[in-house]
Amino acid sequence: MDSEPLVHELSSPGRRGVRPPLPQFQAVDPADALPASEIRADLRLPEVSEIDVMRHFLRLSHRNHSVDTAMYPLGSCTMKYNPKVNEVTARTPGLADIHPYQAEDTVQGALALIFELEALLAEITGFSAVSTQPSAGSQGELVGLLAILAWHESRGQTRTQVLVPDSAHGTNPATGSMSGLQVVNLPTAADGGIDLRDLDERLGPNAAALMLTLPSTLGLFERRIQQVVERVHASGALVYCDGANMNAMLGRVRPADLGIDVMHLNLHKTFSTPHGGGGPGAGALGVQPFLEAFLPGPRVVRRGGGYALADVSDDSIGRVHAHLGNFGNLVRAYTYIRSLGAAGLRAAADGAVLNANYLRARLADDYDLPYDRPCMHEVVFAGTRQRRQGVRTLDIAKRLIDFGIHPPTIYFPTIVDEALMIEPTETESRESLDRFVEVMRQIAREAATEPDTLKAAPVNAPVRRLDEATANRRPDVRLASEFGG
């Protein structure tokens, strides 16, 4: 495939794009408006026409992979198709063009949307109250643990530990450390669940919470969840649930009904808002009634026939967002929930679980299954069979690129050797899944008969295989410096 030149290489002196007349600025000399220290004379910017810029970035966009172009089975991240009606709604001028510092009486629609979305999420999860302020799942985790610690403190207790299963999301132990807690690891039992004996040994007066992911990163529902919750509560600790995998439970399980005390929801996973590039995310947090006073503020409340922002109680952990959350994502999540309704949400979960188990059944003869039982929304295979043939999971992932399929998550969860973590989501059709199966089977055959093909992959991509370690340790920034960057 031909390489795309840099935009600087398309530059020609004197070439310009559209330059609208701005008479109010034409008489202003930058030297008079800014101090000399703030004016760069050595910055070499490309001089290109509008059509050159348009074609350049359009060609680059065609080389990117996205869920809008092909399957994106990235395990644990729920990269499902985002209905375009969500985007239409989020771009409605009355919602897209407002400012967070407007007077409350001018943003009643936005406040009503936040209020109703929190109520919908509370109904879906069973919690008494939900805050949509956290900007990501990881921040939702932090807010949840801080609320738990504030609750313990209100009872005159100081607890210093958080228990985290090794099948939890990697952000869970990181959040525990950020909260100032000692992270205590819980090993996974042979069936992929929590070992109750190990749990009993680690629970004690210093445990503030158990922080689990449900379903776990193994793609499995915790069969002993009620026994786990009972044991944690008996010790005086609370149960925090990482709800990033709620896509598997919509309309089927209300986490609060299981006795879970706190749970965040990744709106950019379960509720179909854009996901990728590090954000923007949305990590709504649900809590049981006794923790509502500790939620961040301000809260949207009904008042005098309208909506207003209310100060929070003295028990609140305080403000965690400059405003009221990533509002555009809240609009998208609200649209998604309203579009599907209760029956549609349940069908989404059913489809996600069905698709994952379909892949589990059809690929079980070609790849090892470390936990061979029905999974939830994602299935974890192991490339251990292929490793014995001289092929690593990384090679399998790179080969998928040649077929126009984004690789799944690999080497995670870390407790699975040569892990291939695949989440098809409910938005992939059977035809799409069947093609993925055939490609994975072909790769398994290649691993057995021509492993060098995999070790050279990808061969059809715009960029061949990179040395990721070297690229991170010694990035090549010569081009940026040559062009004044």
Name the band, by pLDDT with cuts 50, 70 and 90, for residue 461.
confident
Question: How far is residue 395 from each of residues 43, 101, 367, 400, measured CA to CA in Å?
Answer: 42, 51, 14, 9
| pLDDT value for 470 | 85
The helix/strand/coil state of 305 is: coil
Domain assignment present for residue 54? The answer is yes
Task: Provide the 3-class DSSP secondary structure of residue 387.
Answer: helix
In angstroms, what CA-CA distances link 223 with 226, 317, 379?
A: 8, 33, 17
Average pLDDT in the 97-106 region? 93
The model's confidence at residue 212, banded by pLDDT at 50, 70 and 90, is very high
Residue 28 has pLDDT above 80, yes or no: no
Task: Give a yes or no: residue 80 inside a domain.
Answer: no
- Predicted confidence band at 260 (pLDDT cuts at 50, 70, 90)? very high
Q: Is the pLDDT of residue 480 over 50?
A: no
Query: Does one domain contain both 246 and 133?
Result: yes
43 and 107 share one domain = no
Residue 220 placed within a domain: yes
Domain count of the fold of the chain? 3
Quick one: pLDDT band at residue 337, thresholds 50, 70, 90?
very high
Asked whether the beta carbons of 255 and 214 are under 8 A apart, the reply is: yes
Backbone dihedral angles phi then psi of residue 350, each to the nearest 5 degrees: -60, -40
Which of 339, 363, 387 is the last residue before a domain boundary?
A: 339
- Closest by CA to 408, choosing from 336, 451, 360, 456, is 360
| Residues 186 and 328 reside in one and the same domain | yes
CA 405, CA 79: separation in Å to the nearest integer? 13
Last residue of a domain, one of 319, 339, 359: 339
Is residue 314 domain-shared with residue 359, that is, in the same domain? Answer: no
C-alpha to C-alpha distance for 440 and 454, rounded to whole angstroms: 12
Regarding whether 204 and 322 lie in a shared domain, the answer is yes
pLDDT of residue 30: 65
Average pLDDT, the chain: 92
Final residue of a structural domain among 287, 308, 339: 339
Inter-CA distances, 299 with 310, 324, 327, Å:
5, 8, 14
pLDDT in tens, 358-382: 999 999 999 999 999 999 999 999 9
What span, in angstroms and rounded, lies between the C-alpha atoms of 391 and 396?
A: 8
Residue 203 inside a domain? The answer is: yes
pLDDT tens-digit readout, 410-444: 999 999 999 999 999 999 999 999 999 999 999 99
pLDDT 10s digits, 111-138? 999 999 999 999 999 999 999 999 989 9
Alpha carbon 18 to its chain's center:
38
Residue 478 C-beta-side C-alpha neighbours within 13 Å: 2
Produce one character per residue of 238-247: b if its CB has 16 or more CB atoms within 10 Å, e if not.
bbbbbbbbbb
- Cα separation of 426 and 82, whole Å? 12
Same structural domain for residues 298 and 379? no
- Encoding tokens for residue 140? 């939702």
Interval 225-256: pLDDT, tens: 999 999 999 999 999 999 999 999 999 999 99
The edge-to-edge listing of strands for the beta sheet with 379-382 is 379-382, 419-422, 409-410
Residue 485 lies inside a defined structural domain of this protein: no
Q: Which two tokens stand for residue 297?
A: 């503020």
Tell me which DSSP letter residue 286 carries: E
Domain presence at residue 68: no
Residue 468 pLDDT: 78
Average pLDDT over residues 258-279: 86
State the CATH number of the domain containing residue 256: 3.40.640.10
């008996």: which residue's tokens?
A: 234
> What's the pLDDT band for 471 if we cut at 50, 70, 90?
confident
Indicate whether 409 and 319 sit together in one domain: no
Residue 392: which CATH number? 3.90.1150.10
- Band of pLDDT at residue 482, cut at 50, 70 and 90: low
Q: Answer yes or no: pTM beyond 0.75.
A: yes
Whether the bond into 255 is cis, omega within 30 of 0: no
DSSP state of 368: B
Tell me, yes or no, whether 323 and 401 share the same domain.
Answer: no
For residue 40, with 0-12 CB atoms within 10 Å meaning exposed, 13-18 middle and 19 or more buried, which class applies?
exposed
Helix (H) or strand (E) holding 285: strand 283-287
DSSP states along 243-266: GGGGGGTTTT--GGGGT--EEEEE
Q: Are residues 141 and 284 in the same domain?
A: yes
**Per-residue pLDDT reduced to its tens digit, 50-99:** 999 999 999 998 888 888 889 999 998 899 999 999 999 999 999 999 99
Q: What pLDDT does 23 receive?
A: 61
- Partners of residue 285 on adjacent β-strands: 131, 264
Q: Give the structural domain span for 251.
A: 85-339
% of residues, the chain, pLDDT over 70: 94
- The model's confidence at residue 26, banded by pLDDT at 50, 70 and 90, is low
In SS3 terms, 82-123 reads as CCHHHHHHHCCHHHHCCCCCCCHHHCHHHHHHHHHHHHHHHH
What's the rounded Cα separation, in Å, for the pair 163 and 232? Answer: 10
Q: Is residue 211 part of a domain?
A: yes
3-state SS, residue 400:
helix
- Same domain for 333 and 348? no
235 belongs to a structural domain: yes
Do 109 and 174 sit in the same domain of this protein? yes
Q: Is the pLDDT higher at 26 or at 205? A: 205
Looking at residue 20, what is its pLDDT?
Answer: 65
Residue 481, pLDDT above cutoff 60: no
Residue 332 shares a structural domain with residue 457: no
